[in-house]
Homo-oligomer: A and B are copies of this chain.
Amino acid sequence: MEISPTFAAINPATESPLPGQFPEHGSQQVDLAANAASEVAKSFRHTTPSKRSQLLHAIADCLEEEREAIVARAELESALPNARLNGELSRTTAQLRLFADVAIGGLWQDAIFDTANPNRQPLPKPDIRRQNIALGPVAVFGASNFPLAFSTAGGDSASALAAGCPVVVKGHPAHPGTSEIVAKCIAKALDSHALPQAIFTLLQGTSHELGQALVTHPKIKAVGFTGSIHGGRALFDLAQQRPEPIPFFGELGASNPVFVLPHKMEANPALLAEEYLMSMNMGCGQFCTKPAVVFVTQSKASDEFLRLVREGISSQPGQTMLTAGIKRTYLEQSEIRAQQSGLTRTQSTSQQGVPAMVFETTSKEWRNNPQWQEEIFGPQSIIVLCEDSDDMQSLGAGLAGSLTATIHAEEADHPIAQNLLIDLEDVAGRIVFNGWPTGVEVSYAMVHGGPYPASTMPASTSVGAEAIKRWLRPVAYQSVPDALLPSSLQQANPHKVRRSIDGQ
């Protein structure tokens, strides 16, 4: 099949093409971009952290200047509400500025020193100084559900640039116009700081070949990906099967289980129902941290909770999904689930967009149907009615890897909460107490990752300051003369990097 040389974005609300044609890039453009990125990788790695910090601020400044144009185009391409997209743009610039601070802060360098001891017996002890360095050109895959914060200038790009890695982005084909405006801001910021354009390339296209070529290109040294288990696993496999396998940081899916303990349910079932419906429907259920399963125990209060959830879901307004393909998959998968025995469905009666829906089942049926743990992307969630809190607790340890796990508990629930918390440490990257998992803080302590499939690299986070660590590797310098050492390791410590010396 001939690939058409350009493509258009589709407005998901009308399913009609939007103005603008975008190039269909393929392996040839990947080759050009990756080779060019590799050519500038050494010099970019050796820029000062403050230079990279200025670059990130300049990108953020430009995104602010272009806010109106970016949000307007993103609204057309994603069908996400204006207020949400404005908030997401603010989050994106905050992320860029956080990584600007992180770059200067120097903790990412992990500077560790061994002091020489020429008199040690039987052998002298050498002077060794280690630090982290940028590992080279990084491929970033834009995600459909966050056209700004997890896309062209999103957290993956921001953290990779902060680390000193050139970036080649595969823009998500659902929002090429948004990606293009954002990429122009990055180009402008590079230009204004006299940095080569090869440090950042946006590739656009609708073919699988584009992403495959990017992940398998020998000059690409790591990958950042947020998306589906199916697509992400295929790319992960390619990255691992290369002659030189490379780290693939993929966030692939999560059910974000929520446990409501009995006393908490007793205290305020109405508030829990309201918050639950808000969290699962946020962004049309297209959040990575959507609570896809909620465990409750049988009681009068949980009867009330269920009644209110059913009532609330029935009157939920329909929303438009990100793309026609995502909508089709949502409707197909939820229809398949609805036809299985052992659960009941209540859904929105709205005639617009896609219907939000809640399934109810029992712990016994849940145990017999492990396939219900698989995330359906969209405004859908399952409530599992447990016999009692022991029954509920026994379900925690068996859950698949997830980005988050949540416990709702009053003080009287703490003995059970304590045991559950220990089980959930094996399940999730973040454990939330008396809150809801949607809303991921961009901060120093955030972990947005977790056991597979939440992440293909469970020791990493894709949100928060520590996300920079994904693009680094350590190098030890043994007995290297001070004048030849990277300045960050020289005795005079010109950048005032924090150092750990002999384990202290």
A469 to B459 CA separation, bound complex (whole angstroms): 9
Within 8 A of B (CB), among A242-295: 244-245, 247
A473 touches B458 (CB 8 A): yes
A42 to B425 CA separation, bound complex (whole angstroms): 9
Within 8 A of B (CB), among A463-494: 465-466, 469, 472-481, 483-484
* Chain copies in complex: 2
Within 8 A of B (CB), among A357-407: 401
The 0/1 profile, CB within 8 Å of B marked 1, for residues 231-249 of chain A is 0000011001100110100
A48 interfacial by beta-carbon distance below 8 Å:
no
Known contacts A426-B42, A451-B244; A433 and B475 CB within 8 A of each other: no
Within 8 A of B (CB), among A42-66: 42, 45-46
A447 touches B130 (CB 8 A): yes
A502 interfacial by beta-carbon distance below 8 Å:
yes
A133 to B432 CA separation, bound complex (whole angstroms): 17
A478 touches B431 (CB 8 A): yes
The 0/1 profile, CB within 8 Å of B marked 1, for residues 161-182 of chain A is 0000000000000000000000
**Which of B237, B422, B451 touches A240 (beta carbons < 8 Å)?**
B237
A68 interfacial by beta-carbon distance below 8 Å:
no
> Could you tell me the dominant secondary structure of chain A's interface residues?
mixed
B244 touches A445 (CB 8 A): no
B444 touches A112 (CB 8 A): yes
A147 interfacial by beta-carbon distance below 8 Å:
no
List the B side residues contacting A42 at CB < 8 Å.
422-423, 426
**A-B pairs with the 5 shortest C-beta distances?**
A447-B476, A240-B240, A128-B445, A430-B476, A114-B445
Q: Which residues of A contact B (CB under 8 A)?
A: 42, 45-46, 87, 101-102, 105, 107, 112-114, 122-123, 125-126, 128-130, 133, 135-136, 236-237, 240-241, 244-245, 247, 401, 414, 417-418, 421-423, 425-426, 428-435, 439, 441, 443-447, 449, 451-453, 456-459, 461, 465-466, 469, 472-481, 483-484, 500, 502-503
